[in-house]
Amino acid sequence: MRLYFPRQLITLCFIVVSISAYPQLWFDPNDVEVEGDLAGFTLQKNIVSPEKDVYLLKLELTAHQPRVVPGFTVKWHMASQEIYTIWDNRFNSGRSNYNLTMHTRTGAHLALLSYIDKGDHNRMTFGISDNLNTLVIQNRLSEEDAHFYVTIDFFKNNPPKKHVDRYSVDIRFDLRKTRYEKALADMSRWWRQYYPPAHVPVEALVPYYSTWYNFHHQLSEEELVKECQLAKTLGMEGIIIDAGWMTLDEAITFSTVGDYKPERLTGIKNLVEQVQAMGMKVMLWYSISMAGIHSEAAVTFKGKFIRKENMTHIYDPRYPGVREHLTGILEKAMKEWGLDGFKLDFMSKMYPGETTPDDSSGGRDFASIDEATAHWLKEIYRRLSTINPNVLIEFRQPHINPVTQQYANMYRAIDNFNMEIANRIYISKLRLASPGLATHSDMLKWHKGETVEDAALQLLNGIFSVPQVSVKLDSIPKDHLKMIKFWLGYWNENKALIMHENFYADNPGENYTSLHTFHKESQVSALYATQVVTPKHASVRKVDIINATGKTDLYFDPGEYLGETLEIKVFDSMGQEMSSKTINNTRTPVKIKSPMVGLIRVLSR
């Protein structure tokens, strides 16, 4: 028997490199230690270098016969030298959080840390091939010697009693002096040999209308149809009907979730048909990880939960009957109601409690919750894709990592209602760790009394993601509607460029002060706390500058590559052209007057 680890047996054939040949390295992978009682297993440790300054530490545990995999720790230390910030995919990481503990597993976080210098260059990024099993990653900065002490615990946090005769894992160390965005993107691409991401249909890359913040549980079919009619004219191509569609309970405690009977929206099939007739997709919210304490499911599946959390019970996915029941609910809804997809929520809750059984007895067919969850998600995706090969499945932070990206195709920033800066941070982290995939904003919501410029900041801080809008469109001012139509139109027209893999997120230690993408001759730059833009590549001839700074003076530095003249057009937050001029390119920074929130287009002739 072998520990479940997708595609772990892929062989990479490289020549072993003597790290001692590079005495200038401030970190030496040969110094990495492995500690623990291996309990009958033999450890093989090997280091290979697939390219200059990139190293793979390959660990393999083998036993003569299957036995419980032992807990062990991989550790090293390194000087805190030229490191300005530490990146991980959680919100609270950064310059002020050098001492951190992170739990990664199926459905929660990336097994990765990146150490970045003041100039946004990679100092060292490490990633672990195993994103399925529960790991505990710790980074501690020692006051005594100003060194980082890093530990990775394997099978030490409520480990399952699964018998195996082999376990292997690779740790990839990237020491290249390159932009940190490239180090993160290359780590993501390395993971894809183990966990290939799901197919991303074109419908995953269109703006959506969401019902959560604007309606919560106060949904009505008539009102949703009217909102969709207006949303379609503004550039939205789908609706995500969130929690509240099934229950008459208006309390947001999820105490009745789990039965998924349409008590509130009783005519879902007719609603879906009406919305789809407008040319819009329809997705429905389910939280298949939990059953509310007042639901029928709580009685039906008593004894088959991992633990109780607040007003809900968390399902134990190791029971085949649990998996089949909930997968069948999704399958039936898709067939009977004609749904285009699902928002599957709260998958990050699938982890054991203190008294959760740790074996495969008692009707469980897995010992590992992580393994059972991955198996379950794979089966959901397979069965729904059989019905519709372009099925839409949304996960949100934190239950997005390489494992879950195999079974979903829309990855949304975690809830941060009316907090545009937080949304920008979450979106940037998703983009950096998921190049080429469909990153979505948290649902955009603002007070209808905001100025149009302040309302626009919600959209513009999320402009480098697929927008999801969650305001009641029939109750906001007309200038807000005009603003939404302009920016969603701009996004739809330029989405191939905006969502391109050439993504730059400047100053991660200061919450990403500017964001950029470029491809061939075009570039989009959004400014939040910096006022200068320069072309990111010699091929660029057109630069769109999104001003979200709240300041009126911006500067464009043309560098040495652009043509002899610069055509500059300035638009306000609703798309109204404010000024247009053509100037000679003197190869020096150009001061541009702009509305506090708006768009500047610079075209080189």
**Residue 142 φ/ψ, nearest 5 degrees:** -85, 130
Question: What per-residue confidence (pLDDT) applies to 427?
Answer: 97
For residue 64, tell me if it sits in a domain.
yes
The rounded radius of gyration (Å) of the Cα atoms in the chain is 25
What percent of the chain lies above the pLDDT cut of 70? Answer: 95
> pLDDT tens for residues 202-215?
999 999 999 999 99
Question: What per-residue confidence (pLDDT) applies to 384?
Answer: 98
SS3 399: coil
Instruction: Give the start-end residues of each E strand in 501-564.
Output: 503-506, 514-519, 522-527, 532-533, 542-547, 553-556
User: Per-residue DSSP letters for 10-45?
Assistant: ---------GGG-TT-SS-GGG-EEES--TT-EEEE
Residue 28 has pLDDT above 50, yes or no: yes
Last residue of a domain, one of 191, 217, 242: 191
Q: Please give the single-letter amino acid code of residue 476.
A: I
SS3 533: strand
Please confirm whether the linkage preceding 201 is cis (ω < 30° from 0): no
For residue 586, tell me if it sits in a domain.
yes
How high does pLDDT run on average in the chain?
93
For residue 55, tell me if it sits in a domain.
yes
For residue 91, CA distances in Å to 79, 81, 177, 190, 428 come to: 25, 24, 25, 23, 10
Residue 3 has pLDDT above 70, yes or no: no
Q: Please give the single-letter amino acid code of residue 129.
A: S
For residue 399, CA distances in Å to 90, 105, 164, 345, 508 come to: 11, 9, 27, 9, 22
For residue 457, tell me if it sits in a domain.
no
For residue 226, tell me if it sits in a domain.
no
Cβ-in-10-Å burial (0-12, 13-18, 19+) of 13 comes to exposed
Cβ-in-10-Å burial (0-12, 13-18, 19+) of 469 comes to buried
Residue for token pair 């057109």: 542
Residue 482 has pLDDT above 60, yes or no: yes
What is the pLDDT averaged over residues 50-63? 97
Taking the CA atoms of 313, 314, 319 and 325 in sequence, report the sign of the dihedral they define: positive
Residue 18 has pLDDT above 70, yes or no: no
Q: What count of other Cβ atoms lies within 10 Å of the Cβ of residue 119?
A: 11
Q: How many distinct structural domains can be found in the chain? A: 2
Last residue of a domain, one of 167, 191, 215: 191
- Which structural domain, as residue segments, surrounds residue 560? 504-604
For residue 157, tell me if it sits in a domain.
yes
Q: Quote the tokens at residue 330.
A: 């999704």
What size, in residues, is the chain? 605
C-alpha neighbours within 13 Å on the C-beta side of residue 565: 6
Last residue of a domain, one of 134, 166, 191: 191
Candidates 394, 399, 535; CA nearest to 465 is: 394
What distance in Å separates the CA atoms of residue 169 and residue 61, rounded to the nearest whole number? 9
pLDDT band at 90 (very low <50, low <70, confident <90, very high): confident
> pLDDT tens for residues 180-204?
999 999 999 999 999 999 999 999 9
Q: Quote the tokens at residue 88.
A: 């991980």
Q: Using an 8 Å Cβ cutoff, are 136 and 101 in contact?
A: yes
What distance in Å separates the CA atoms of residue 39 and residue 186, rounded to the nearest whole number? 35
Instruction: Give the start-end residues of each E strand in 156-232.
Output: 163-174, 208-210
What is the pLDDT averaged over residues 451-467? 98
SS3 278: coil
Q: Quote the tokens at residue 457.
A: 């900041």
For residue 334, tell me if it sits in a domain.
no
Candidates 340, 429, 436; CA nearest to 389 is: 340
pTM, two decimal places = 0.94
Q: Quote the tokens at residue 515.
A: 């964001």
Candidates 408, 442, 416, 405; CA nearest to 208 is: 442
For residue 589, tell me if it sits in a domain.
yes
Q: Please give the single-letter amino acid code of residue 203.
A: E
Candidates 285, 296, 220; CA nearest to 255 is: 296
Residue 2 has pLDDT above 70, yes or no: no
